[in-house]
Amino acid sequence: MKWPALEKKYVFLVGYKFVLLDADSKVNKPPPGCITIYQAALTCDLRFPCHKVILEILNKYKLAPVQIMCTSWHNICSFMLTYELRGLTCSTRAFGLVYMVQKAPSEAEETS
């Protein structure tokens, strides 16, 4: 999907915008003041600014948004929506009791 179509489909609040990486950019090194996400995360309802609980989850597990797989974004957003629909307060602690979060092994760990 091209940049103008992305901006029309996924509307962000004032102060947030899409910045497409150029051919020399790397996903793990976004431009200053930016974060990298995959478009698939937007299809799973990730929006900006991020909900406080999403930021807490990322911080607790020391993850950047680009490290979260699409299905995991779906799980996080669905978890939060379920709590809200039931009139419950969503928290990082509650998320940790329901889901097991672990990092994928690094290439160095796989070869040893």
pLDDT in tens, 49-108: 888 998 999 898 888 888 888 888 888 989 999 999 999 988 999 998 888 877 667 655
User: How confident is residue 24, by pLDDT bands cut at 50, 70 and 90?
Assistant: confident
User: How confident is residue 46, by pLDDT bands cut at 50, 70 and 90?
Assistant: confident
90-93, long-range: CB within 8 Å, 24+ apart, which pairs? 90/51, 90/53, 91/53, 91/56, 92/53, 92/56, 92/57, 92/60
CB neighbours of 3 closer than 8 A, spacing ≥ 6?
18, 20
On whether the CB atoms of residues 17 and 34 are closer than 8 A, the answer is: no
Q: Is the pLDDT of residue 28 over 60?
A: yes
On whether the CB atoms of residues 38 and 66 are closer than 8 A, the answer is: yes
Q: Which amino acid is at 9?
A: K
pTM for this entry: 0.70
- pLDDT at res. 56: 92
